[in-house]
Amino acid sequence: MSWRRAALLLRGVAVAALALAVVVAAREIARNHRGWALDALGWAAVLMVLQVAVLAAGWRAIGRAHWPAGDRWLWLRSFANGWVARYVPGPPTGPAGKYLALRDAGMPTAAAAAMLWVDQVLSLAAGVVVPAVMVVPAFGADWMPAAAAGIAAAAGLAGAGARPGLVRRVSGRFSPRGAREGAAVPVPDLAAGFAALTVAAFAAGLAFHVVAVVVSPWPLSRWEEGVVVFSLASLAGYVTPFAPSGAGVRESLIVALMGTHLGAPTALTVAVVARATSVLVDAVVLGAAYGAGWLARGCSRRDSAATASNRRA
């Protein structure tokens, strides 16, 4: 099977899974609606769109460092394929969606493997650093040792996991010529990618906080705690294999962390509505991304045809 066929097959299955998730999400929002302002979720949706946009920008920054020949549509297409593939149950399908799109575009195996490795390492580090930074504002100075340990762990993970020598060795395993063709990322590009992933994780936490305020008695002033709760829950879902986009794991931890303040039923409502809102946002954003790519390819084909016609004339 060619790379293109494999990429199209995975994307087709993922889009079908997302469509099913959209139906379930709409039903859950309608079922859990209890007098709160539905339009107020729009503010959470804006933050979720910001999260996805910043993640895509970080992916592009990492990608350009690995393969300067790639254009912006390649980074958009590969990111969109990976983002929608998260809805397919099984092993890490998000990275698989990105990898297939990159290989279909002709990206060397070692460069694609290095890019995915760095993206996963930096994503994990960003998921650790956000709750570590926010835990002291949320819970007080007593949590300073935990914050320092978390920040040190994130820095060590990003620095050691994305170290050029390690990335070159890891990516070289996917190349016929071994480490001699392994790829690495310059430090400025690593820093840009890590910054984008950290901002995206923080925006996701703020979006969750907005949902909690809208659908429950959760106080607006406790935004630091809301960010910490979601960041920890999201991190737990991220590192759990075979859970599509952390489904179930994230919600369970949210209920455990917020249930003492809101009660388990209300905390579950917050978790479900937050998940449902993100699913609907994903559907809109991915539709826009695929639509933009389709229009860009159409314009490119028309330009190529016009150029060929002019040459013949």
The pTM of this model reads 0.89
179 pLDDT above the threshold of 50:
no
Structure confidence by residue, pLDDT tens digits, 187-203: 788 888 899 999 999 99
By the 8 A CB rule, do 208 and 274 touch? yes
Which pair of structure tokens corresponds to residue 115? 């890019």
Q: How far apart are CA 229 and CA 271, in angstroms?
A: 11
Structure confidence by residue, pLDDT tens digits, 43-95: 999 999 999 999 999 999 888 877 877 788 889 889 999 999 999 887 778 88
Q: How far apart are CA 159 and CA 225, in angstroms?
A: 28
State the pLDDT at residue 81.
93
State the pLDDT at residue 112.
87
State the pLDDT at residue 68.
79
Q: How far apart are CA 226 and CA 222, in angstroms?
A: 6
State the pLDDT at residue 183.
59
Nearest Cα to Cα of residue 87 among 18, 163, 165: 18
| DSSP code, position 88 | S
Q: How far apart are CA 291 and CA 142, in angstroms?
A: 50
Q: Using only the alpha carbons of the chain, give its radius of gyration.
A: 21
User: 3-state secondary structure string, 72-89?
Assistant: HHHHHHHHHHHHHHCCCC
Region 151-169: mean pLDDT is 85
Q: How far apart are CA 313 and CA 305, in angstroms?
A: 12
Residue 264, SS3 per DSSP: helix
Higher pLDDT, 299 or 137: 137
Nearest Cα to Cα of residue 80 among 279, 298, 292, 289: 289
